[in-house]
Amino acid sequence: MAFHFPRIVKAKQFLQRILSSPESTGVPRGHFAVYVGENEKKRFVLPISYLNHPSFQTMLGQAEEEFGFNHPMGGVTIPCSEEVFINLTCSL
């Protein structure tokens, strides 16, 4: 039995485009870049396995609502403070 989550499928398709683009240089295989911050964005490189965690999926849903899936910086932009993001990723 397979579960399909449209939001996750869109995010994975977007990440596949990013990972194959020239702007993604410096990102190791099996990872993806995200930009986090409310005013100034800081770049983080995360393992793709984070996409399976429900709390990270919720954060991606918020990013989709605010920014859509068109990210000119070459990575997903996540609309939260660095502190909140670091706390979340440390608990994954």
Looking only at the bridges linking them, the beta strands covering 42-47 and 76-78 are: unpaired
* Six token digits for residue 9: 């499928």
Question: Does the pLDDT of residue 22 top 70, yes or no?
Answer: no
- Element (DSSP H or E) covering residue 78: strand 76-78
Residues of the chain with pLDDT > 90: what percent?
8
Q: What pLDDT score was predicted for residue 7?
A: 62
pLDDT in tens, 24-69: 457 888 888 888 888 888 889 999 999 899 988 888 888 788 777 6
Looking only at the bridges linking them, the beta strands covering 76-78 and 31-36 are: parallel
Q: Where are the alpha helices (DSSP H) in the chain?
A: 6-19, 54-67, 82-90
